[in-house]
Amino acid sequence: MSVTGPDGRLEGVFDGIVVGWAYDWSTPDGRVEVDVLVDGEVVARTTADMPREPLVKEGMGDGRHGFYVELPARVRDGGLHSIAAAFSASCMASSQVSSPDASRSSGLLEVSRAFKVTASAAAEEWSGTRFNAIASAEANARALRLRPSIQVQFPRRGLTEGFSEGNGAETIVLADQVSVERSEPLHFSVQEGVADAHAEHRRRFVEHSGDYIAERLVVSRLPGALVDTNRFLICPTERQYLADSIRHPLGAPRWGYKQVAQNAFERETVIEHRDERVVVLGAQTNLNFSHWLVESVVRALLFKPFDDGSIMYLCPRLEPWQHEALALAGVPKERILTVRRRRLARFPEVFAVSRGMSRMPALIPGALSALAALATPARDEQAPAEPTTEPTTGRRRLFVSRAQVKNRHISNEPQLVEVLGAHGFQTVHPEQLSVVQQIELFAGAEAVIGSWGSGLTNLVFSPPGTLVIEMQPEEVDFGGNAFVWNLASIREQPYAQVVCPVTDGMRQLPLGERDMTVDVDEIDALLGQLLAVRATSTSLAITAES
């Protein structure tokens, strides 16, 4: 697919001068003729050849495609007029986007969402004369040429100022970039039977740096922006996509976009016009528990200071537990908007909010803090009424099982459960619990052990100091093997990782479908060691406080 034909905008009337731009994608080096119509009558014709630097950035040749047309004095009568700009008949014929006998309305330039009419003191004679801009009836059929933009490029406002009532995009920074240092693991081991122990060390400790820069947390207001309701890609204009709104643009061809250059995409589409003001919550990958919390619920929590009660939350179709999670974040069902997938929709205002991670596994501390705050009431209820000198807190020890989900099981889990029970661990199946029950359970945990999976994301609700032991199958990539480790580091939870062999006969299966077999005796010894250290450390800490 290649975008062709004329394109342009009517941007406003300033001191009696009509301003806009026009370009023909079919002839990148050419110039376009434009007619200006007032009350249906052509009052001027001009060639769009004035320099406009932003057009260069949007890939429109040398950018000399702007026009400035002075209206005749007879229009200056203090009344209300209709105004339009149209591609000349010769332009329409040469572009072959319209038949020779098509009505002039099919060649109208689209009206900019920021269309304005103003008169300065120097041109006082135009004061009082008003214009209503008329757009093409076909303006919802668009050819998009998208290049990346990022939210911090938009004009910034302070949090205490809030958003202005202007017509342009604006961004408020909630938290600046911060350096994240991943903690040294309490323990790391590769169990016997793993195919390549050296490769497992290399993936975690050699190929990637554990430390990273967590991106800013921002909220942007984008008037007239577009949202692809298939993958919730946000487009501030028909020439930009918001890089912050997706995890990676490589998936764009699967969503109907043609890649024409590095990070640049094209698409012909029909735009649905909506009346709602929306904050976008949709996740681009799967909607499992982990991604929904970290990529979507976080957005609702960060947006709270800007919610005036009239804004809708744009989501995919949700399961009951997802509604429950949003309700905890202050979003009731009646304010959730679901638009049919595979549509590009334009909204009067779109609010774009940071996800809880810039990429896998680069979690953002401020976002996790917002999620962790959901557990504050649960932790307060479990706090002892008076100080105690007992060496343990009375909190729970949890084994997070995957036995009742469809894949990635521990093949010898019954034997593991027996050993864990001897150390005081109770087996939990998060998928059988409500979101509130999961929060309450993990808010009261002193130690958590589990296998690689989204259930361990609940550690965000556990207090600092909670012991975390993660069992992983071999060959997990860096994004997967470091996610819980990073989470535990940010939450100040001591972390241990054990790599376990794939169950016999399953190595040929995709990673997400393999079971693993755990060396139960090794886990028994490890728990004895780590829990003893924890008990001693807790006792010493209480003695010091006393």
**pTM to 2 decimals?**
0.76
More confident residue, 178 or 245: 178
Instruction: Answer positive or negative: Cα dihedral of 289, 303, 348, 11.
Output: negative
Superfamily of domain 187-210+374-545: Response regulator (3.40.50.2300)
Asked if residue 250 has pLDDT above 50, the reply is: yes
Average pLDDT over residues 254-265: 84
Average pLDDT over residues 158-176: 91
The 10 Å Cβ neighbour count of residue 442 is 27
Instruction: Answer positive or negative: Cα dihedral of 39, 42, 45, 48.
Output: positive
Asked if residue 92 has pLDDT above 70, the reply is: no
Residue with tokens 């290649």: 2
* Angle subtended at Cα 443 by Cα 387 and Cα 285, rounded to the nearest 5 degrees: 160
Task: Give the sheet arrangement for strand 80-87, strand by strand.
Answer: 41-48, 32-38, 80-87, 130-133
Strands (E) in 331-444, as ranges, are 336-337, 344-346, 349-353, 357-359, 362-363, 396-400, 425-428
Asked if residue 5 has pLDDT above 90, the reply is: no
Per-residue pLDDT reduced to its tens digit, 304-323: 999 999 999 999 888 999 99
* Angle subtended at Cα 77 by Cα 76 and Cα 78, rounded to the nearest 5 degrees: 105
CB neighbour burial string for 476-504, b if at least 16 within 10 angstroms, e if fewer: beeebbbbbbbbbbbbebbbbbbbbbbbe
More confident residue, 7 or 278: 278
pLDDT score for 97: 40
Separation of alpha carbons 220 and 365, rounded Å? 20
The residues of the chain that CATH labels 3.40.50.2300 are 187-210+374-545
